[in-house]
């Protein structure tokens, strides 16, 4: 009797523990939802896609009403972002932070949006920003925190700042020697002290792809999670992948400065699928699945065993992102522009169910725009037209070792024409190019190169002159870039 009772109790305990572990692990995966698209899916469609796939956390770069509204009652936890260009205002004091919190946090929280964090700025200390946000980030954090307290939501909503992994480093390359970057050391300690005092996490973005992009000698296998021929030996620990090493460099930096118990959230982690020789479906899948399986194991990293809290970067490709960092920048999505999964990915790690597409997506007609077969490639108008098209639309899938890198010259021109035509919602004036172009109902896609049909975003479609916010300057730069590839 007693033994049976004990067995039942043990079994129940086991179930409880397993459920607890299951919950904790599935709790751990979030995703970044960026919105720099010419044709965004409706927010409600995206929220349903998040739910269908079991994402229970989302990170936003801005506080868009339509998106926060769609997240109402969804059960999805939200990290809402403040763009860097608002930091100066929020730092200046006055009513700016109170107003921001009232409009963009407390109202939504009352409406049932589960906001947990405010991300004040986005990677504001990136070295490429030349120190622009060094003086404003922390005061803005303090003012937003004070405003949250005043609004009575500070218990639930924490203030943090997503930082690029370049704010910490190790002089020897060994994680255990990690410390904060010398030029911002004092500022980092001030911020970490603030995080420790409010119980907010340190949010770090970790990008093995960028390490590889920046250094062709970076050992490729060290980026993935299947062991490396070039592991980093650090005392008694051998690091087999750069994610663990990078994460633990931060853990060491926190410990060294007396904040070993500040929690860490990986704000962005991912791999792009196009626009660079190392950005492809195979590597992206290998990295993302490797990462997900790694964290699903619950083992954590050598210096921080246990669950890892992370947001994948990113949800959907964004054809309006700046390509200043590189052409891959528009291809970080685990989903294509239309909410179709790019490759099978199991969020739960291992062999669990793979990504499900967005439901109910409406497309434009099955029509493409291509170069007329009779067109003369020697015609100066061809080059000019391609520059123009690629200046206003997205041609980042053209290039050395990209998905459309194998096209011939005519294919290149057609790709550019179609990209523009779709961006302009298949307006017939957008498939003319001085008589060089024609529409077709035969899909010109070939091999890995996909000629897309845009999604139907309805009334917002009348934009041929607005050109969706791309400046003439950017158009010229991009055009020149593409032209140089074509010739
Ligand atoms: C709320 O957030 C939006 C998006 O960032 C911003 O444009 C707006 O100024 C904010 N509202 C206030 C009152 O600060
Ligand atoms: C930073 O400085 C470099 C070199 O002076 C300049 O090219 C770049 O535009 C600057 N970036 C910003 C964001 O100000
Ligand atoms: C930040 O403050 C320092 C010291 O007051 C000043 O020298 C520097 O110019 C400021 N930087 C910016 C970008 O405003
Ligand atoms: C972390 O440590 C500090 C200082 O020892 C302490 O004040 C704080 O409560 C601790 N925080 C957590 C989350 O344990
Ligand atoms: C997934 O399934 C394959 C083949 O059935 C197996 O070899 C592999 O170990 C499984 N992976 C995990 C993480 O369970
Ligand atoms: C087409 O464009 C690609 C860049 O995507 C370039 O590498 C290739 O040489 C071009 N092909 C021809 C035949 O011009």
pLDDT digits (tens, 9 = 90+) for 389-439: 999 999 999 999 999 999 999 999 999 999 999 999 999 999 999 999 999
For residue 133, give the ligand 3 atom closest to its CA. 13
Of 330, 357, 388, the one marking the end of a domain is 330
Given 305, 330, 355, the domain boundary residue is: 330
Strands 237-239 and 158-160: unpaired
Please state the φ and ψ torsions of residue 32, each to the nearest 5 degrees. Answer: -85, 130
Q: Does residue 11 form part of some domain?
A: no
Question: Are 36 and 168 part of one and the same domain?
Answer: yes
Contact 463, 367 (CB under 8 A): no
Is 293 in the same domain as 415?
A: no
Q: Are 34 and 151 found together in one domain? A: yes
Place of tokens 């060294």: 256
- Which residues participate in catalysis according to the annotation? 123, 268
Domain that holds residue 254: 25-330
- Does residue 4 lie within any of the structural domains? no
What CATH code is carried by the domain that includes residue 147? 3.20.20.80
359-392 pLDDT per residue, tens: 999 999 999 999 999 999 999 999 999 999 999 9
> What is the percent of the chain where pLDDT is above 70?
88
Return the pLDDT at 13.
Answer: 39
Residue nearest to atom 9 of ligand 3 (CA): 135
- Shared domain for 90 and 172, answered yes or no, is yes
Q: Is the domain of 152 the same as that of 260?
A: yes
Task: Yes or no: say if 59 and 30 are a contact pair by the CB < 8 Å rule.
Answer: yes
Q: Decide if 13 is inside a domain.
A: no
DSSP code string of 388-436: HHHHHS--TT-STTSTTTT--HHHHHHHHHHHHHHHTTT-GGGS-TTTT
Beta strand 368-371 with 437-440 is: antiparallel
> For atom 12 of ligand 2, which residue has the closest CA?
129
pTM over 0.85: yes
89 with 183, same domain? yes
Q: Are residues 249 and 144 in the same domain?
A: yes
Among 64-78, 84-98, 271-285, 463-477, name the one with the lowest average pLDDT. 463-477
Helices (H) and strands (E) in the chain, counts: 15, 15
Same-domain status, 270 and 377:
no
Q: Which ligand is nearest to the CA of 482?
A: 6
Tell me the CA–centroid distance for residue 128 and ligand 2, in Å. Answer: 7
pLDDT of 327 over the 90 cut: yes
**SS3 label, residue 93:** coil
* Model pLDDT for residues 166-180, shown as the tens digit of each residue: 999 999 999 999 999
pLDDT above 80 for 476: no
- Of 63, 65, 79, 96, the residue with max ligand 1 atoms within 8 A of its CB, to mutate for a pocket test, comes to 63
E strand or H helix at 169: strand 168-169
| Closest ligand 3 atom, residue 132 Cα | 13
Residue 361 belongs to a domain:
no
Which DSSP string do the residues of 289-336 spell out, in sequence order?
HHHHHHHHTT--BTTB-S--EEEES-SB--TTS--SS-GGGG---SB-
Residue 76 has pLDDT above 50, yes or no: yes
Q: Is there a contact between 377 and 409 (Cβ–Cβ < 8 Å)?
A: yes
Ligand 4 binding pocket includes 260 (Cβ within 6 Å)? no
State how many domains the chain has. 2
Helix axes 380-392, 409-423, angle to 10 degrees: 40
The answer to the question of residue 338 being in a domain is no
Task: Convert the pLDDT of each residue in 338-354 to its tens digit.
Answer: 999 999 999 999 888 99
Distance of alpha carbon 185 from the chain centroid:
27
304 shares its domain with 384: no
- Measuring from each residue's beta carbon to the nearest atom of ligand 5, which residues come in under 6 Å? 293, 350-351
Q: How many residues does the chain have?
A: 487
């Amino acid at each position: 009797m007693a033994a049976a009772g004990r067995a039942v109790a043990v079994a129940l305990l086991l179930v409880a523990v397993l459920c607890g572990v299951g919950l904790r692990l599935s709790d751990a995966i979030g995703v970044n939802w960026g919105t720099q698209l010419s044709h965004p899916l409706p927010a409600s469609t995206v929220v349903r896609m998040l739910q269908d796939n079991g994402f229970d956390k989302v990170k936003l770069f801005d506080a868009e009403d339509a998106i926060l509204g769609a997240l109402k009652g969804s059960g999805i936890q939200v990290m809402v972002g403040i763009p860097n260009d608002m930091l100066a205002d929020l730092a200046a004091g006055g009513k700016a932070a109170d107003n921001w919190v009232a409009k963009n946090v407390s109202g939504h929280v009352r409406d049932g949006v589960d906001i947990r964090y405010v991300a004040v700025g986005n990677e504001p200390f990136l070295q490429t920003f030349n120190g622009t946000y060094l003086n404003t980030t922390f005061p803005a954090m303090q003012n937003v925190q004070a405003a949250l307290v005043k609004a009575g939501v500070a218990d639930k909503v924490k203030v943090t700042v997503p930082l690029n992994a370049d704010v910490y480093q190790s002089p020897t390359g060994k994680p255990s020697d990690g410390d904060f970057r010398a030029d911002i050391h004092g500022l980092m300690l001030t911020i970490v002290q603030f995080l420790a005092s409010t119980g907010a996490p340190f949010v770090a973005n970790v990008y093995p792809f960028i390490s590889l992009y920046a250094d062709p000698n970076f050992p490729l296998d060290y980026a993935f999670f299947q062991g490396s021929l070039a592991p980093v030996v650090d005392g008694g620990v051998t690091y087999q992948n750069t994610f663990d090493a990078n994460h633990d460099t931060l853990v060491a930096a926190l410990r060294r400065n007396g904040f070993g118990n500040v929690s860490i959230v990986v704000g962005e982690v991912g791999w792009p699928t196009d626009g660079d020789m190392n950005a492809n479906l195979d590597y992206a899948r290998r990295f993302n699945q490797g990462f997900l399986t790694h964290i699903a194991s619950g083992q954590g990293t050598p210096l921080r065993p246990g669950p890892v809290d992370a947001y994948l970067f990113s949800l959907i490709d964004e054809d309006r992102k700046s390509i200043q960092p590189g052409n891959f920048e528009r291809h970080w999505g685990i989903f294509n522009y239309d909410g179709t999964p790019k490759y099978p990915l199991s969020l739960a790690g291992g062999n669990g169910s793979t990504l499900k597409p967005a439901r109910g997506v409406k497309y434009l007609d099955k029509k493409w725009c291509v170069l007329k077969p009779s067109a003369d490639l020697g015609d100066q108008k061809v080059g000019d037209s391609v520059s123009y098209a690629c200046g206003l639309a997205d041609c980042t899938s053209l290039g050395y070792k990209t998905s459309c890198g194998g096209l011939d010259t005519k294919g290149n021109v057609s790709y550019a024409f179609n990209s523009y035509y779709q961006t302009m919602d298949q307006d017939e004036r957008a498939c003319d190019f001085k008589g060089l172009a024609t529409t077709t109902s035969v899909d010109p896609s070939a091999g890995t190169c996909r000629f897309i049909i845009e999604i139907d975003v309805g009334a917002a479609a009348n934009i041929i002159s607005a050109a969706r916010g791309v400046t003439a300057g950017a158009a010229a730069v991009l055009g020149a870039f593409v032209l140089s590839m074509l010739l």
